[in-house]
Amino acid sequence: DVKLFFTLLWIDIKYGAINVWIEIKYSIIETWINIKFEAIRIWESLKTWFFETVENIKNGVIDGWNNLKQGTVDTFNATVQWSKDTWNNFKQWIVDLVT
């Protein structure tokens, strides 16, 4: 009876340990899967952020360049108009002076 008791106890302990090991193993696997999916999610977020940032910088540079070009054109046109106005005023002043 004592031998049977210890044999059954040993079997019970052995299967209990096996069950605990299986639970630990599945817990480790589940944790690893969760970490993997979280890492993938973070990586995707970083990629999205990076490409959006690059796109925003690109658009900002393009907008800045276009504004600079337009400002240069506007300044040039204003200078040309000022020169014409000044020349016409000068000619009129000469005409008024002579007459």
Q: For 70-94, how does the pLDDT look when each residue is reduced to its tens digit (9 = 90+)?
A: 999 999 999 999 999 999 999 999 9
User: Can you read off the two tokens belonging to residue 36?
Assistant: 């993997």
Identity at 67, one-letter amino acid code: N
pTM for the full predicted model: 0.51
d(CA 61, CA 55) in angstroms, rounded, equals 10
User: Can you read off the two tokens belonging to residue 46?
Assistant: 């970083």
User: Can you read off the two tokens belonging to residue 82?
Assistant: 């000022």
Residue entry with tokens 């999916």: 37
Comparing 6-20, 34-48, 55-69, the range with the smallest average pLDDT is 6-20
